[in-house]
Amino acid sequence: MELKGKEIVLTGGTSGVGLALVEALQADNTLLVIARQSERLEALKTRKENVDTLACDLGDADQLRRLEQSSWIFEGVDLLINNAAIQVSDGFLSQRYDFESMERELRLNLLAPACLTKLAACEMSRRDKGGAILNVGSALAIAPKASSPMYCSTKAGLRSLSRSIGYQLWDRGVRVLHAMLPLVDTAMTAGRGKGKITAEQAAKELIEVVEEERVDAAIGKACLLAAIDRVSPRMAQRLMRAV
């Protein structure tokens, strides 16, 4: 897929990797950015050409249901990028890490991409030209770390979901792509780890995944973790246990 003249729906496009994707794509394409913070969305719409916005908290059950009823959003869409996600790093036994927190992480990171993928795929499969869906994942889908069990679980689930849905949609001309990012320098990862890639580099790599239609892509250091896991899953587990 050549990303020029395309209709693109992007979630979580007001900061980090999502904002970098908007910056990289908006000149040659038309974007609808879905995010939670209406003020940031308004600022984005004012500053950028070819960008429309929709305020929706994908981690809220009622708002997600209302979005599900708005299938018109995906009329004519060529590419859906499921980018929005949250990561909670409180200890699993912490009182702050309660059922509501777990449910929100699950809904935003896994259920929302599943719902939006279905809406987009139904529209794309009706057309001769098909389309593509990119689910932005994490290297933690390969080997989970100790500090964010729900986040790791949702990213592993997103990888499996992408592959399974991709099997179903292949003959309909809809490509379901999944990309595992390494640690990216964003507000989410502030104070964590070293050797991060920039949001701009992550966006560049993700665009290449779409253009090359790579079904399950590991980016940067995610490639190294995948290689270690293939050779010695125990070694990968030991590495991630301390993270």
Q: Quick one: pLDDT at residue 103?
A: 94
Structure tokens at 153: 């679980």
Residue 2 in any domain: the answer is no
Residue 134 to residue 17: CA distance in whole angstroms: 13
Residue 1 in any domain: the answer is no
Q: What is the CATH number for 196?
A: 3.40.50.720
Q: Quick one: pLDDT at residue 190?
A: 65
Overall domain count for the chain: 1
Residue 156 to residue 56: CA distance in whole angstroms: 24
Residue 21 in any domain: the answer is yes
Residue 166 to residue 154: CA distance in whole angstroms: 18
Name residues of the chain where pLDDT drops below 50. none
Q: Quick one: pLDDT at residue 91?
A: 81
Handedness of CA 1, 216, 175, 25 (dihedral sign): negative
Inter-residue contact 10 to 21 (CB < 8 Å): yes
pTM, 2 dp: 0.94
Residue 90 in any domain: the answer is yes
Q: Quick one: pLDDT at residue 141?
A: 96
Residue 105 in any domain: the answer is yes
Inter-residue contact 88 to 100 (CB < 8 Å): no
Number of CB atoms found within 10 A of residue 195's CB: 9
Q: Quick one: pLDDT at residue 165?
A: 97
Handedness of CA 68, 174, 104, 75 (dihedral sign): negative
Q: What is the mean pLDDT of the chain?
A: 93
Structure tokens at 86: 């949250």
Q: What is the amino acid identity at position 49?
A: E
Q: Quick one: pLDDT at residue 127?
A: 86
**What's the domain range around 196?**
7-241
